[in-house]
Amino acid sequence: MSDTSESLMKKRFRGYMPVVVDVETAGFNAKTDALLEIAAVLLDFDSDGTLKPVDSVHYNVEPFEGANIEQAAIDFNGIDPDSPLRGAVAESEALRELFKPIRKAQKAAGCQRSVLVGHNSNFDHSFVMAAAERANLKRNPFHPFVSFDTTSLAALTLGQTVLIKACQAAGIEFDGKQAHSALYDTERTAELFCWMVNRWRDLGGWPLASND
């Protein structure tokens, strides 16, 4: 990360580094239902001050011991938790390895904390926090309660709340057949978030106008 991008990231988001995350789960309750898949996309500013996706991390996750699996949830996302073809790893390992590049990028950006960006971010944030607590991970880079919700941002900027509709309104290609894959949804959400941040800049909304 260059000195320019470091100062931009730190200044643009008040010392926080946005990281786009999506999870696929076996239900809606982060405390009791299994986390099955997690992906994260790191972002950075280029030399022109344009925010772009730069790297991605993805893991299929083994259900934690005693986890609840709702049949309706896995029917919806199409994940077979017991399939050996998933190459799933333990929840603690997935989060530990996911957090490493995030902490590294956060330090390089000069930011004090990472902020989870997600489409309906409270859902993803709750599962990440619950999994980190189960794994007793002390070095969780994410802010414990702040998140950036692209659902709300898309409603404001594009008049859309559904991810595929928001992407289409922004001119971002979206293959509905690949939806509900954590990696695919994270990559599209990252593109959408970057588009909204960059569009706000292009419209003159950032940097803030001087009050002088």
Q: Is residue 125 annotated as a catalytic residue, yes or no?
A: no
Tell me: is residue 185 an annotated ligand-binding position: yes
Tell me: is residue 143 an annotated ligand-binding position: no
d(CA 127, CA 149): 15
Tell me: is residue 191 an annotated ligand-binding position: no
d(CA 18, CA 35): 22
d(CA 44, CA 19): 10
Tell me: is residue 149 an annotated ligand-binding position: no
**Residues in contact with 69: Cβ distance below 8 Å, sequence separation at least 6, in sequence order:** 26, 27, 33, 34, 63, 81
Structure tokens at 135: 């794994």
Tell me which residue of 169, 170, 152 sits closest to 161, measured CA to CA.
152
d(CA 115, CA 193): 13
103 and 5 Cβ atoms separated by less than 8 Å: no
Annotated binding site for Mg(2+): 22, 24, 180, 185
| Residue numbers annotated as active site | 180
